[in-house]
Structure 1
Amino acid sequence: MDIYEIRKHNLVKLIGSQRKGACAERWEMSAAHLSQILSDKTVKNLGDDVARRIEVIEGLPRGWFDSIPDDTQELETGPASAAELVKQMLAKSGKGLSDATRQRLMAAAAEESHENVITVDVSRPGLVGDEVWIAHYDVRAAMGGGQIPHDYPEMLQDIRVSPTHLREMGVKFKDHFHLKMITGWGQSMAPTIKDRDPLLVDITIREFTGDGIYLFSHDEMLYVKRLQKKGKGRFKMISDNKHHEPEEIRVDDTHILARVLYVWNGNPV
């Protein structure tokens, strides 16, 4: 199960026999929005902000929606074989796989489970605490002349990380729910950030908090650049590539969207 299947499963369990319209009203969302999330015919997902809001309203622990449900494996059936588990997985989320791929997965599961059974730890903690999902957005922020931002960024994939490990690497953040991944394009921030490097950003930082690398829009274009304050009303926009000269831009024309915390090539920022 990916993070959205987990959330949907927990949402269905939370609603139970309640009227969906009443739930939607209580959760400050439209009934149509809730129906889209619950439907198997749409790709509408339960996002971070809505999940956290429902948790607060219902008095649930933060991250409850992201916990792997303990009822995904029927306890009374006893331990399941690897082949059976793979078969269940393929039935739920393997519709796009070819027959050849399905057969290879089943064969690998049968080979792995040479004793025919494995025990399933259904009490394993969910993706809260030291294992979290970070959404990767289809936002191409140019490290050169600027990119026209998408009106509605769509998620490409989720990245599973350990907040503890991130902090050990020197990444400073308050809450992992506010971390997102984007992609940098261009060479003007090389060697710190190379073309198409994934970037870890904090989307709660919407104003200048000191010299650093930011995701920001300026003149309707999207950038990833270093910013330095120059006087009251101007920023110095700096490229790490020495072939690109720094520019001065007006603070009033610059809208900070996030701060870059880490480059996924291991380079510090």
Structure 2
Amino acid sequence: MDINMIRVKALRSIMAGATQKDFAKQHGLDASYLSQILNGHRNMGEKAAATLEEKIGLPSGTLVSPASESDIDQRVVTRSTAAEIVRQMLMKHGKNLTADAKARLLAAADETSIGTAASTITSGQVGDEIRIAHYDVRAAMGSGQIPAEYPEMLQDVKVSLRHLRDMGLRFEEPWHLKMLTGWGQSMEPTIRDRDPLIVDVTVREFIGDGIYLLTWHDMLYVKRLQVADADHYEMISDNAMHKDRTIRREEVHIQAKVLYVWNGHLL
């Protein structure tokens, strides 16, 4: 597993269900920066991890090196060993942490150990199971939605990496994938109202005809894009009852490419 993903997972465990906005306010963090870290739009490097440790008041190494390389490669840590490691760390470095924060870290160690062991047993292939973050974002397929400043995560969706590849999804790394919800009828029958969508958030420019998550005039859309001419795109609705538009390229900001609709449609 990528070290950035491990650090983000450790940070989410420490947040323990707190909203991004509340957590940022509580610890004096920049909410926009925190959102980018959690959403995968910015990597949490060693320096950034160390800075977050200091601001949150965590023991040194909690985010910089949340697991050793051998733990990462092995993927299986017993519940008692993980909990004991964290307990010893807290005894040595956790004087400035509240009792609640200590309890969260211990609970996260237990949960991580159990989850890792279970995935190794059930997947049939070490590292085959991945988690895709599902965000509370309504990507309108009609008149547009105002994008949330700090989208909250609904839950992680567990899927088989091999299964995604077998279905034909093409992406560089699993953590490039996110889920959101389509909203409206303008892309039917390809995408129905409230269908979950898998998107690749690393696609930030037009790479060929397809369906994209985009902002246009500060509104968020899921639409099919085609090149009209050197200066314009055709923004197309698959539903014939909805009007297509010719829009200026300079006014369009591509946020992601839609790869798959959770109703069985590969895009």
In 2, distance between residues paired with 1:204 and 1:26?
Answer: 18
What amino acid is the match of 1:171? L
Preserved contact between residue 228 and residue 234 of structure 2 (Cα < 8 Å): yes
Q: Deviations over 1:140-172 (max 9, x none)?
A: 110000000011111110000111101111111
Q: Deviations over 1:47-98 (max 9, x none)?
A: xxxx8xx69xx9959x949x855031459xxxxxxxxxxxxxxx948xxxxx
In 1, distance between residues paired with 2:51 and 2:145?
Answer: 33
Preserved contact between residue 167 and residue 266 of structure 2 (Cα < 8 Å): no
Tell me the equivalent position of 1:151: 149
1:141 aligns with 2:148: no
Deviation at 1:243? 0.3
Which of the residues 33, 53, 57 maps onto 2:52?
33
Preserved contact between residue 193 and residue 263 of structure 1 (Cα < 8 Å): yes
Tell me the equivalent position of 1:70: 77
Alpha-carbon distance change, 221 to 233 in structure 1, aligned in 2, over 3 angstroms? same
Per the alignment, in what secondary structure is the counterpart of residue 166 of structure 1? helix
Deviation at 1:124? 3.4
Alpha-carbon distance change, 26 to 238 in structure 1, aligned in 2, over 3 angstroms? closer
Which of the residues 183, 194, 199 maps onto 2:197?
199
Deviation at 1:7? 4.0
Alpha-carbon distance change, 260 to 128 in structure 1, aligned in 2, over 3 angstroms? farther
Deviation at 1:268? 2.7
Instruction: State TM-score, norm by structure 2.
Output: 0.62
In 2, distance between residues paired with 1:238 and 1:178?
Answer: 25
Per the alignment, in what secondary structure is the counterpart of residue 183 of structure 1? strand
User: Structure 2 matches for 1:111-126, cutoff 5 A?
Assistant: 124=120
- How many percent of aligned residue pairs carry the same amino acid? 48
User: Structure 2 matches for 1:1-269, cutoff 5 A?
Assistant: 7-8=9-10, 27-29=46-48, 33-34=52-53, 60=69, 64=72, 69-73=76-80, 92=107, 124=120, 129-269=127-267
In 1, distance between residues paired with 2:156 and 2:243?
Answer: 35
What amino acid is the match of 1:124? T
Alpha-carbon distance change, 177 to 227 in structure 1, aligned in 2, over 3 angstroms? same
Preserved contact between residue 200 and residue 261 of structure 1 (Cα < 8 Å): yes
What amino acid is the match of 2:120? R
Instruction: State TM-score, norm by structure 1.
Output: 0.62
For structure 2, the 5+ residue unaligned runs are 15-43, 83-105, 109-116
Per the alignment, in what secondary structure is the counterpart of residue 259 of structure 1? strand
For structure 1, the 5+ residue unaligned runs are 13-24, 40-45, 76-90, 94-120
Deviation at 1:122? 8.0
- Higher helix residue share: 2
In 2, distance between residues paired with 1:262 and 1:204?
Answer: 15
Per the alignment, in what secondary structure is the counterpart of residue 158 of structure 2? strand
